[in-house]
Amino acid sequence: MLNVCPACGLYRADQIVEAGEPGASAASVVVCPACGARRSFVRGPLLVVTGASGAGKSTVCNRLLGHVHDAVLLDADILWRPEFDTPADCYRTFFDLWLRLCKNINQSGRPVVLFGAGIGVPANLEGCVERRYFSTIAYLALVCDDDVLAERLHARPAWRAAGSAAYIAEHQQFNRWFRAYGDHQPPITQIDTTGVDAATTTRQVAAWIAATI
């Protein structure tokens, strides 16, 4: 919607954004880089709940469905297709597609809370052309001890193929990356799910969403 100029009809993802007053849903302006036509849009936030496979993202998302009314909750995996598997460019088409979808949902007045693994690595989003349409991207990572992560992955059904030594090692490494992120920018808030039941983690994530939007 926002990528097509209603005046000249040009499609450009790199519209010029003039930010409005600071706020969760700041009214801003996009300017067509070809004809200079201006129109207002909602430059709202994007919330990302991330973590390694087995950290608890899907469990929390499912528990929150129907209980969060000020935001739209989505699982990033619902759009995944083989053609997006492009590690050479860090899966840029996939991430730009998600940002484009989320910015259009924002125009309804409700931000998106996006649950996903790789989408929670700031470098994967912050350099995307569609990033300019968000007032901020807030990141929350679910983390846990390596042995707990391995136990959860081993417990998954066989069809998910999550119990191999290679898969577990890969996601333990990813989990450690989040735990070691520290004071880098942009910040990633962490919730440790080790020894914590799903209901408690869900309440913590819900509180973070409420405080962030």
**What's the rounded mean pLDDT across residues 43-65?**
96
pLDDT digits (tens, 9 = 90+) for 121-130: 999 999 999 9
Q: How many CA atoms lie within 13 A of 164 on its CB side?
A: 6
Q: Which of 104, 129, 116, 143 is nearest to 49 (CA)?
A: 116
pLDDT digits (tens, 9 = 90+) for 159-212: 888 889 999 999 999 999 999 999 999 999 999 999 999 999 999 999 999 999
pLDDT of residue 31 exceeding 90, the answer is yes
Q: Over pLDDT 90: what percentage of the chain?
A: 90
pLDDT of residue 24 exceeding 50, the answer is no
Q: For tokens 């994530």, name the residue.
A: 205
Which spans in the chain are helix H? 57-64, 92-106, 122-126, 146-154, 165-179, 198-212
Domains of the chain: 1-43 (no CATH), 45-212 (3.40.50.300)
33-62: burial string, b at 16+ Cβ within 10 Å, e else: eeeeeeeebbbbbbbbbbbbbbbbbebbbe
Q: For 143, left (φ over 0), alpha (ψ -120 to 50), or beta?
A: beta
**What's the rounded mean pLDDT across residues 101-118?**
96
**What's the rounded mean pLDDT across residues 58-80?**
95
Confidence of residue 27 (pLDDT cuts 50, 70, 90): confident
Please list, in sequence order, all residues whose beta carbon lies within 8 angstroms of the beta carbon of residue 3, skipping any fewer than 6 positions away. 11, 12, 13, 15, 100
